[in-house]
């Protein structure tokens, strides 16, 4: 039992899953200034599965911590770059910072079997805890990957050209 982990809420990222339902979007942009079509790689949307564990020695106190945490996320379940104060410390470069983000926090209820596997993976000693899915974190790198000109004329199968106006 690690003394540094006692009497705290321990936050653990237990899984990260891509949201595949949002992959079918348009990944081009018609730039009216340059009259070119710009292509870019699609952003990656991920769902974060985050476990909050109360490590208080007193079981009742640990349950109180978990109860407070559930009430907090019940009253505030959407976090954006506009309503959150994100302090970045450590060795980060601008590439690592998210300019915009939106996280929707939902309570996730694993089955008893999933919970057993989760705590077995984490070392076996189970603490009062709650699991949340934080949905739709968008990860993207700005930048055009390719470009092309706007189509000005179309040639039909008879060899006749028609000008596009």
Cα 125 to Cα 28: distance, rounded to the nearest angstrom: 50
- The predicted structure's pLDDT at residue 116: 92
- The predicted structure's pLDDT at residue 128: 95
pLDDT tens, per residue, the chain with 165 residues: 566 677 899 999 999 999 887 777 666 667 777 777 777 777 788 899 999 999 999 999 999 999 999 999 999 999 887 887 766 666 655 555 666 778 899 999 999 999 999 999 998 688 999 999 999 777 665 555 555 665 556 666 665 656 655
- Who contacts 19 (Cβ-Cβ below 8 Å, separation ≥6)? 45, 46, 47, 135, 136
Cα 66 to Cα 60: distance, rounded to the nearest angstrom: 10
- The predicted structure's pLDDT at residue 133: 96
74: its two tokens? 């019940």
- The predicted structure's pLDDT at residue 121: 92
- Cα of 62 vs its chain's centroid, Å: 28
114: its two tokens? 């999933």
- The predicted structure's pLDDT at residue 59: 94
Count of domains for the chain? 1
Q: Which domain holds residue 73?
A: 3-163
- The predicted structure's pLDDT at residue 82: 82
- The predicted structure's pLDDT at residue 165: 52
- The predicted structure's pLDDT at residue 47: 92
- The predicted structure's pLDDT at residue 85: 73
Output the pTM of the full model.
Answer: 0.71
């Amino acid at each position: 039992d690690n003394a540094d982990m006692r009497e705290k809420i321990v936050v653990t990222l237990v899984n990260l899953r891509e949201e595949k339902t949002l992959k079918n979007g348009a990944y081009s942009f018609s730039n009216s200034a340059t009259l070119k079509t710009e292509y870019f790689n699609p952003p990656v949307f991920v769902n974060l599965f985050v476990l909050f564990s109360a490590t208080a020695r007193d079981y009742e106190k640990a349950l109180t911590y978990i109860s407070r945490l559930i009430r907090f996320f019940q009253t505030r379940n959407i976090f954006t770059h506009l309503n959150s104060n994100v302090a970045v410390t450590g060795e980060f470069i601008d590439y690592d910072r998210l300019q915009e983000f939106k996280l929707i926090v939902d309570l996730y209820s694993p089955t008893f079997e999933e919970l057993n596997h989760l705590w077995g993976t984490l070392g076996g000693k189970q603490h009062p805890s709650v699991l949340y899915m934080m949905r739709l974190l968008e990860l993207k790198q700005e930048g055009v990957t390719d470009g092309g000109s706007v189509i000005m004329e179309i040639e039909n199968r008879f060899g006749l050209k028609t000008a596009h106006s």
